[in-house]
Amino acid sequence: MIVLNGNEWVLALYNYGQISTAPMSEYSLRYMFKDGRLILDLTDYNIDGPLKLINFTKLGELDCSSERKLSPLTKEYNDFSRNKITSIDLSQCPNLRKLNCSYNVNLTELNINNCSNLTNINVTGCINLRKVICYNSPYSPTEIIEKAQTPLCSYAGCREPGNYNGRCGIHRKHNCKEEGCNSQIHISQEYCSSHRSSCTIFGCSFRTSSPYDYCAYHKKERELERKRELERKIEQERERVREREREQEREGERARAELDQKKGLLLRAKNQLQEQIVAKENMLMHLISSAKSELVSKSIFPAKRKEKEAAYQNYLDNLLTSQTQIVQQVPRQNQLERQNQLEQQAKKQLGKKLNDKKIRSLCQAQMELTKLEVNLAELEKGLLQIQISDRL
């Protein structure tokens, strides 16, 4: 009996993977990690007789089949080293998920006791298997023995079970659907070569296989035509996308031109407003200077004269400030009424020194100056919005 100890194999695997100077061994070539599980490959181990695995507690997959394979060690086919296993004991492999012991024709006994995680087992070709021990496993002895009696697919090179009259599901055949024809054809076809229909292209005498309506030549031609049509549609869609991009670019240029034009108009309006503000400021300063020259007290007492003149000056300043506030804070429909009220109050306070015309001129000049300044602020706000849009 050949007994393989998992502790020895794990040590060799660990050394080869962790120590750079560790030599490559047969253990490290047969025992490896793949897809997150430990795999043991004994396909060309030349086992002749019973096989038992001990201490392989983490083994996930075992392949001890007797198939013809290319050896990674000798680079030759294993014709002279194929297994002749008579019994297999895997009761100490609790984490085993996949087992392939196919085509061991001498295998008579299989022990997969405690292999509760086993979900894939291949015993195809083990035609002499008679005893299966499988307590605490997903399979029953009868089920496994029936699997063992299933021959391999008769198609050359195929190793799948031949469950369909000696063929696997991929290579199975059936009779031609033509009445009275017993020709065997592939499952994907409906009629044999003698009973396939003619190509539907006018003038073509070649035959076609179901479910196609065209011969191989015209089938290829139609596929090419569909491909060319698809390419034309793709190119048309690309051209539409390019045209949309060009239109968007033209719209962007028009929008930029409109912004530039609007910006130019606003700049000219700004210059005009600034000139008007300067002129209005000069006129207001002249009126204020003239008014202050008339706001002189005639008192013979210096202190009292100085006090009265300061009161006149302070009232005049407050009057002009109030005119500014009317424009900035009072609704437009109420501005005229409020302005008249302030003028009447000013006449009472300054009427002895300034005539009605001068008081009205002062108030009017201050209001017009404030309106010009408000208009300039709104215009500069519009210019700022244009500059922000231009950057975007």
Which residue(s) pair with 2 in the sheet? 51
- Give dist(CA 384, CA 63) in Å, integer: 79
Q: Which residues contact 102 (CB under 8 A, 6 or more apart)?
A: 65, 66, 67, 122, 123, 124, 125, 126, 152, 159
115-157 confidence digits (pLDDT tens): 999 999 999 889 899 999 999 899 999 999 988 887 777 777 6
Average pLDDT over the chain, rounded to whole? 83
227-277 confidence digits (pLDDT tens): 999 999 999 999 999 999 999 999 988 988 888 888 889 899 999 999 999
Largest Cα–Cα distance in the chain? 147
Residue 157 identity? G
Indicate the SS3 state at residue 198: strand
180-224 confidence digits (pLDDT tens): 888 777 776 666 766 666 677 777 766 665 566 777 778 888 889
Beta strands 173-175 and 184-186 are: antiparallel
DSSP string, 47-73: -EEEEEEES-TTEEEEE------B-TT
What pLDDT is attached to residue 91?
Answer: 96
211: cis peptide before it, omega within 30°? yes
Residue 41: which H helix or E strand, with range?
strand 37-41
- Give dist(CA 386, CA 392) in Å, integer: 10
For residues 280-293, average pLDDT: 88
Beta strands 184-186 and 98-100 are: unpaired
376-391 confidence digits (pLDDT tens): 999 988 888 888 877 7
For residue 22, pLDDT over 50 is answered with no
For residues 80-100, average pLDDT: 91
Which residue(s) pair with 88 in the sheet? 51, 110
